[in-house]
Structure 1
Amino acid sequence: MQDDARYLKRKVTAGSLDVHPTEKALVVHYEVEASILAEGGGHMLGERKEGQKIIRVKSLSPSTDVGALAKKVVEECKLIPASRLPQVEQLLYYLQNRKSSPVEGKMEKKEKRPVKPRELTPFDGMELNEEASITRVDEYIELLYEGIPEKIRGSALILQLARNPDNLEELLHNEAALGALARVLREDWKQSVELATIIIYIFFCFSSFSQFHGVVSHYKIGALCMSVVEHELKRHDVWPPENGSLRRDQDKAVRKYHGLLSKQEQLLRVSLYLLLNLAEDTRTELKMRNKNIVGLLVKVLERDDEELLVLVVSFLKKTVHLPGEQERHG
């Protein structure tokens, strides 16, 4: 039967459209029908699955131009046909005039822990001329199945979204996105420092909130970061040392070396920040110690990057307070 199968046909049908019960958001219901077609085009096997997409409109306020916002929503969400623009406008108008629910009020007042490192030095592939939209995540996921440049672009767009804490919960429930990101990191981190840095940064955004540590652990990102740090430190050891007597014709090589060093230190910073966040849990920290996190941190002290050094010293201070580690240093 499999030999006769030629291709998979996927059909997405939009369903009902409603307002979210507690948030400033629209809920789009849809149905996905996947069919395996035989050589002659006949239907062999099919499956239907229902889903929903939440479109948050945090910017909606009493002064918002509802008509313009409705057009933007319809343009950006492929699940909503243009013919439903009046309905979208009506639902947004309802949301605009609805009193905030107690849950929504609490969410808005809840202080969010700041996400750090605040900025990564821009590098090729991260600076994009386009603004990411939470409604287009599926498109960004598709890029993760292409070449390295496309993977960098797709992950950079998802990073744009992840850096806004308001998007984290929706991304959390998008298993396709997180699974694809974890897979790409696992398979390609040695091929591209930029790609590894961006994807680890995405998971770092989750690690900045204790309630999201479970998803980071689920995809074993902490263990991957340990491997990344160890590998990068070994790689640095075999790079040619900087030599003050280098001739002018070697200036290009020196610039290349500094470029590599800068990118590597970005990767080390975001990896160690993520590990430090996960180390809030003592059991996780003990696992790190058993995998020689202290040795790796001490090795990083040889570097010159100020932010990296401050981070490492903070991490080392934390590990010294672990049971057993105090005895070793005492």
Structure 2
Amino acid sequence: MDSLQEEQRYLKRRVKGCTLDVHPTEKALVVQYEVEATVLGQMGDPMVGERKECQKIVRLKSLNAHTDTSSLARKVVEECRLIHPSKLHEVEQLLFYLQNRKQSNDNQERKRISPRDLTPYAGVELDEVASINNIDEYVELLYEDVQEKIRGATLIYQLARNPDNLEELIQNETALGALARVLREDWKQSVDLATTITYVFFCFSSFSQFHGLVTHFKIGALCMNIIEHELKRYDLWQDELQKKKKAYIL
């Protein structure tokens, strides 16, 4: 008993680096965080330390079409100590996305969607075939103008469509970071660019071992912002179309 108390006395744990994303199939938030454990000496000085990446699923059973997402977001932040109060607005955005995400019919058998169940995205047509050995060249294209960014993203997408390349791609932090940055900063400039990069990360999301990557770059929240923007633009187009129809009839 004394040895256990002594061990607890000199072991210091700290939680850091919390990031949020939506669960790919459930009404839930995925909280990614890092636990830093340090063994302290008798004088309180750190002796041995290690870090471990952890994940917590916050399931939202009460979330439905009539839920007040603002109130629910405050409740989630209050009850989940891993989420800092400064992330309240981000939590509310993620809840709004989950609230509006299409769900399968509850009376039907639910099954996990796999890439084979979907019509594959062909991407932008190019007269060249991508090679994993040229990945650094494709990354450099992501720092050029929009057309070159589309070309670079398309070549990387060609690689990502082959599951055998995913393990090597996930080791290339420069490539993944550049893709996430371009999607975050330039998605309004080109639908082809945004769609291609989104499908690159979709290729990773199809395998559970890569979900941490998608969460790390907050792709779910980013896609939510893109979809919300496109829905608003669609509504504006519909309003303009209705006005032109009325003017034509009159």
The higher relative CO (CA closer than 8 Å, separation ≥ 6) is in: 2
Q: Which has the larger radius of gyration?
A: 1
TM-score (norm 2): 0.49
